[in-house]
Structures are given as C-alpha cells and as structure tokens.
Chains A and B, each alone.
Chain A
Amino acid sequence: MFGLPDITIFTVSSAVALIVVLLALWALRYREVF
C-alpha cells in the first residue's frame, strides 16, 4: 500500500495506534481531583 512494504505500514501504524489508545486510556482514567 502507498508503495511501502507491509512491515513499514504495519510497524508505523500500529505504533501510532497503540500510543493513541494509551493516551486515550490516560484521559479516561484521569481523576480530576487529587
């Protein structure tokens, strides 16, 4: 896809997806009052 090897597409997109999920989890679990 896009002239790239599958390994590049897979590695980069899964890294971005993982980070987005982790940061979303942070937001959802953040307690606003200490």
Chain B
Amino acid sequence: MQAIALRPRFVAIPRRLIRLRRPSDALIAFWSCLVAYLAVAFYVTLIVHSQGLGQDGVSRVAIANRILFSGDPHLAAVGFVWSPLPELVLVPLVALKSVWPALVQDAFAGNIVSALFMAGAAYQIFRFLDEVGVRRWVRWLLTATFALHPMIILYAINSMSEAMFIFFLLLVARHLQRWLRTQEISALVSTGFYLAMLYLTRYEATAAAAAVVVIVAFATFIRTRSATRQRVRAAMLDAFIVVAPFATAFVLWALTSWLITGTAFQQLSSSYGNSAQLQSRGLSTSLTLGQELAASSQALHWMLALEPFLPVVIVACVAVIVWRRDWIALAAPAVLAAVVAFMFYAQVSGSVLQLLRYFIVVIPLVILMVGVTLARRSKSGSRESPPRGPEHVWRRRSLRWLWTGGTTAAAIVGIVLMSLSVQAGYRAVMDPTINVGYAAELQALVQRGPLTQAERLASLRFVTDHHVSQYVDSLHLGRGTVLVDDFLGFDIVMSSSNTQQYVITSDRDFQQVLADPSGNGVRYFLVPSEQALGKLDAINRAYPGAYANGGGLGTLVKQFNSVSDDATNWRLYRVNGTGTG
C-alpha cells in the first residue's frame, strides 16, 4: 500500500485492480510489436524476397527442415556446433510446410519466430519497467524506444537467434531483480531455468550466468544474519540453486553431443565451428597489441553508434543508484552488461568475427538503465524522492499546473531523445563500415532510386542457391542421389521441392556415402568454390580439387556463378561410372 500512498493524485485503487490492468498494457505492447514486426517481415521476405538479412537464420530453418524432411529425418540432425533451441522452436512451424510452403522455401518460419521473441522482449521490458516502478507513460516511451530501434527491428524480422537471446536475457534479469526485491524462492528458480534456456539459445549465456551467480552469492552472503560459516553456506546454496539448471543444460548438451558425434564441444573443435570459420577467412585467433587496440576502439565505436547516449546513461544511472543507495537496482543492468563485456572481450581477443550484432544487447541495456534511473520508487518499500524533481512538494503548494507543465516538458524531452536514439540507430545499421555485410542490403531495401553496385549485389543473395536448387529439381532424381554438404548448401536443399534427393551432412550414413559415392547410389554432387568458408566443405576436404576438376570423382555438368556479393560459385558434377540423368 505504500506505493499507493506515493501517488495521492489518484484515488487509492486497490492494488489488485492495478495488477489486473497492468498486464494488459504489456500485452498491448507485445501484440502491437508482433503485428508490426510480422508485417515488415512479410514485406521483406515474401514480397521483396530479400533473404540475405539473416543468413544464419535461414540456415536454422534449413536445419529444422532436415530434422523433419531430409532423406534421413532424425532429431540429432539438429547438429551440435550451435545451441539447439533456435532450431528446435522452428520444428513445429516447419512441420506446416505442406500447408504453407513459404514457411520453409522462403524461410518465413524463421521470421515468425524472431518476430515472436522480439515482441516478447518488448513485453519483458515493459514488465521490468513496471516492476521497478517507472511511470506508465515513461514505460510506454521506453518500450517504444526499444521496439523501434532499427537494430531491434532488423533482428526482429531477420530470423536470427538474437531476438530469442534478448528475450531470455531480459527474463533472467527481470526474475533476478524480483528475487532480490522479494526473496521469493520461485523467482530464484525461474532465474535459473531461464539461464538454462539462454544457454541453449546462445553460448554467450555463460557470461550472464557468471554475473548472476556472483550477484546471488554476494546478495545472500550480505543478507544472511548468522555466523560467517552459515552465511557462506547459504550463499553457496543460493548460487547452486540459480546455476544448477544452467549447469545441467551445459553438461547435457555436451553429453548429447559426445554420445552422438564423439565430441563434447563441437563449437570449439568442429570443422565448421567458430575457430575453423575464422581460419578459413584468413583471420588469426591471436591478435597483436595494435590489432587489439584497433578492435577495441572499433567495438566502442559500434556501441556508441548503436546507443550514443550510453556514457550519459551509465553516469546518470550509477549516480542515481548511489544517491538512493538502492544497490539492488544495479543487478539487472549488470547481467546485460556482463554479456556486452564478454562480447567486447571476445572481439578484442579476436576469438569471434567482428560483427555489429554481437553488441545488440547494448540497446536493452540502455533501456533498463534509463528505467532504473527514472524509477519513482523501489519495490523494497523505502520511500524515495522522484528523480525528476520534488513533484510532491509542488503539489502540496497546489501548483498543479506547474507539475503538469513539467510532465509535458519531460515528455517532449523524452520523445526528442527517443527519436534521436532511433535516428542514431538508423544511421548505424545503414553504415556499411558499422553494420558490415548487412548495410548494403538494407540500403537496397529502403532505397527508392537506382541502386549502387554493392546494394544490387547484396539484394541478390541466395538467388544463386535458388538457381542451383531449381536446376537439380528439374533433373527429377531419385532419393539419395545428390551429395552435398549443407553447411554452405543449406539453402539449396531447403528451397528444393524434393529434399529427399539429397544426401546431406547430418545423414547418419554421410561419411560412408562420402567415402564411396557411386557405390552408395549417388549420381551427382554439388561443391562450392574453394574460397573462404568453401574450404570447410566436406567434399572439398575429402577430395582435394573437387571444385576445380571433380577431384577424380566426376565430370562437370554445370557451373553456377554467383550473382550476388556472396562470391560462392557452385558446380554440379556427375559421378563417374553412373548413367546420364
């Protein structure tokens, strides 16, 4: 009831009624975001047919597709290099392929899932702001600032796993915050389970888990009033409760991978994994000091490009928290900051590709920090003065017009800041030096006039793959007759109307077929040009020169030159000793 006492302008509505009304606000935010994101995704994917905005996302749909519809459908086809959840949530949608083929052939299933999770992230932001005690209109403004950020819109519609990651990360932060305020065990347990989901979405979750464990153990140690030994035990126990689901997910995923592939951590060791990808692009995983400095300045530059107000917000947030001594408010931003810090470190140490998307968490981080700064009250019940000025004093002097004016002014300032932030984000994602690899295609999307060469090429990604796929389909081949490594060839397989004609990497007899294609009924094979990631192609590795001259395995039928900036050409070979198609 204390919360009500702070807002004497209103009749003291029973708390229950407020509770009943508030979720509907958050749900409105969710549904509006979902509808908007789906509309944009529909336009981009199914009307303009621009798929290159999220290549990894498209490959996830291909993976879900091969789980259900390959020549050898099985769950383990999910693959073990990346986390499984983004693929698994696609499976139910991909199952509807026969009802709506575009779900798979245009990978629209991926767009639906990312839109769903990004709208869910907006919902979580709204709920978080509500729970820390941010005014209703400020909640709306901040949620909108998040949801309308061009980077957020981009990842809501491009079927990548970022949306899911942000969604679960916000859930973790929100429940951690709830546990710190209320000490309800259910909040701690929820935090733990969402951390596990986060890990199964993206491996960066490890940074968030580390932050959560430290915060939980520290908070319990400080709070427990007992002998030191008992405090240590209580802290260990809480840390265990919060980390156990995560640790179990970690061990189980490694164990499953080990049981099925013989390697526990494929993302580290696989021939398709992160390090292999870096090497294939000629990037070293150990950087010189100069390179490290350059990488860090670039990372900082990108973060500021996405959120120019970041330094101001950090200073304001920390100042307000110190002033109020409301240390609990630090926790949620700290979890997100840990992920940003981890990506920063990974970037600087050269262990990941330098991509703008790895810093997307900066956007919800800023929103959370602004929310914490503007919170009128802490739910722990201590009375706080409003940060924007002593409104209650003004009201007491009956200067209500002044207060209304102040609110209006604050709203105007807020909207101006929001539009500035959205504009800055727009410039960032459209800048080819910042949003490397994606800006050109985005330009092609929004440009009305003639396109530049780079923009034209970017808009044609995946077109070559579709040509290959259509050509192979036109040969009307039988089951298991075309050998292809779907690491790069995923879109060829996915957009085919006869996926079962392919023998792909996830098939359990792939190695056997690769060793003796003609003996296993294979009549054709497809290989990508041996540059960049093409070097990782299984056929290129098994038969050196496979692309150049068939590697002694077959004779060239057709070459498909890349029409886009992707630069991967494909060649179709007929396996020696088999009849013509």
Chain A partners chain B: no
